[in-house]
Amino acid sequence: MLLAALLVVLLLKIKKIKESHTSEKLTDPETGMGNLVYFKHHFRHTMGDMARKLYYVAYIALDDSYVKSFYGEDSFENIVKHTALILSEHAYDREITARVSENGFVIALQSANDAEARERIETIVSRLNEAEDIKDINGKALFHVAVYNLNISDKNCEMVLFNLKKNCNKISGTENQIVFCDTNLMNRVQEEKKLTQSILNGLENNEFKIYLQFIVDNKTKKIVSAEALSRWESPAKGLINPGEYIETMEMSGLISKHDFLMFDLACKQLEAWKGTALENISISCNFTRITLSEGNFADRLKMIADSYAFDKSKLAIEITEDAMEKNQEVAMENVAKCKALGLRVYLDDLGSGYTTLINLCDYPIDVVKIDRDILNKADTLKGKELFFGIVALAHNLNIKVICEGVETEEQCEFVTKTECDLVQGWYYSKALPVEECEDFIKTRI
């Protein structure tokens, strides 16, 4: 009898130890709430086939980089705990909350319809924004949420969370704090994932090439420079224009690899022209503001440029308009370092996207490009005055001006009569593969 009693006690202790270990595996140590393993378990069991359509899964992302940079680690930890508290307060019976990554949280709500789910999510976000450590954040949205009403077919927890996280990232940095995702929006993420892998393979297999669009002097009409434009020569799909892959590169973190590859190819081309009749033609190479914000940008740029022999003054970096700087202070420092290396600096598409007049003060600009939309409006009195005003402003700042998008005889005649320094557009040159450039240039020099 004593042996049997001891055995029972031992089994109970073993059971308690196992339960304790299981609990530890399912718990986030900092907040005490469930972790990713915990959420996966409930996704499979609590949100089973019969109940799945009742659940709205909300992925909540905290901008941890901004908080840590401007408010410190202590504030980040406080906000994390605040988030855990708010989610637990707003979760009803059979609703699941979890911290699934350092800055990612999930709450699975049961709601009868979209309107009810939206109201509950908006209330939660409002409470999250009340965190003591971010009350003086000046309106910056630190929380972004992607919400999705599960279908019966949604049995892969990892895929649901991945798709929600990607959709959440798309509104990060915007005024929108909440995005409701339908099936198409969720499936699009998977398509983008496949595209991202294809892009990565293409970068590794040297499928991305530079095409050159030439720029002429407005007075002499002679070619003086060219813009290096990216093209993807895909073995499976043929020639792909950048509009079909640049945004995906930016979202997936591949844009920097792409930008530096294009820069390397531009340097290679300038070296190939050295000592020839084409050596006085310069090339500008595009860099997104995302790449410009990287801390090692100038060092990487110098390493690439120094590996080729050519006149560095014939090379320019072109600051694009299609993304916001992750860190403007770092970007400004990097551009200043580029100037110190002897490179010129172009500002692309003034009047479009993230390119504004204030950039003329922020960066040491040598050349500014007038966006084609401004040229297209120059057939009106106000549009014409705007065009002339931009040219005059740039010249007062000792900055040269390129007019982009010149495609017709009428546009050519108009720009020729202005004080614009340089002209770019299909009227003079389409984007050409480098193999065709030499013969094309010789007809115009």
| pLDDT tens-digit map of 208-233 | 999 999 999 999 999 999 999 999 99
Specify the higher pLDDT residue, 187 or 420: 420
Q: 260 and 125 in one domain?
A: no
Same domain, 408 and 276: yes
Residue 145's pLDDT band (cuts 50, 70, 90): very high
Gap between the Cα atoms of 128 and 99, Å rounded: 15
Q: What pLDDT sits at residue 324?
A: 60
CATH of the domain at 216: 3.20.20.450
Tens digits of per-residue pLDDT, 106-121?
999 998 888 999 999 9
Sheet holding 178-181, edge to edge: 96-99, 104-110, 55-62, 143-149, 178-181
Q: Are strands 238-240 and 282-287 parallel, antiparallel or unpaired?
A: unpaired
> In this model, does residue 95 exceed pLDDT 70?
yes
Residues 327-344 have pLDDT tens digits of 678 888 888 888 888 999
CA distances from 28 to 93, 102, 429 (A): 20, 10, 59
Residue 105 within a domain: yes
Domain-ending residue, one of 151, 181, 211? 181
Domain assignment present for residue 278? The answer is yes
Query: 316 pLDDT exceeds 90?
Result: yes
94 with 197, same domain? no
The answer to the question of residue 51 being in a domain is yes
> Does the pLDDT value for residue 2 go beyond 60?
no
Among 181, 211, 233, the domain-final residue is 181
Q: Any idea what the Cα angle at residue 234 is, between residues 232 and 240, rounded to 5°?
A: 45
**What residues make up the domain containing 317?**
193-442
Residue 429 token pair: 């040159």
Q: How far is the CA of 405 from the CAs of 80, 247, 321, 355, in angstroms?
A: 49, 22, 15, 17
Check whether residue 282 and residue 384 sit in a common domain: yes
Our count of domains for the chain comes to 2
Same domain, 161 and 261: no
Among residues 230, 218, 148, 159, the alpha carbon closest in space to that of 183 is found at 148
Q: Are 239 and 432 in contact (CB under 8 A)?
A: no
Q: Are 125 and 199 in a shared domain?
A: no
How confident is the model over 260-277, as a mean pLDDT? 93
Give the CATH number for residue 174: 3.30.70.270
Instruction: Give strand pairing partners of 230.
Output: 210
Q: What is the mean pLDDT of residues 118-140?
A: 79
**pLDDT tens profile 46-94:** 888 778 888 999 999 998 877 887 778 888 898 999 999 999 999 998 8
Query: What's the pLDDT score for residue 351?
Result: 61
Let me know if residue 35 belongs to a domain: yes
- What is the CB-side half-sphere exposure of residue 339 using CA atoms within 13 A? 13
Q: Is 46 exposed, middle or buried (0-12, 13-18, 19+ CB in 10 A)?
A: middle
Q: Are 216 and 258 found together in one domain? A: yes
Let me know if residue 14 belongs to a domain.
Answer: no
Domain check: are 233 and 348 in the same one? yes
Please calculate the CA angle 402-404-409 and round it to the nearest 5 degrees: 110
pLDDT at residue 404, as a whole number: 92
Query: Per the domain annotation, does 271 fall within a domain?
Result: yes
Instruction: Give the pLDDT band of residue 135 (cuts 50, 70, 90).
Output: low
Structure tokens at 374: 């401004």
pLDDT averaged over the chain? 85
Boundary-marking domain end, from 181, 204, 229: 181
The verdict on 212 and 174 lying in the same domain is no
Q: How many CB atoms lie within 10 A of CB 334?
A: 25
Mean pLDDT of 363-385: 88
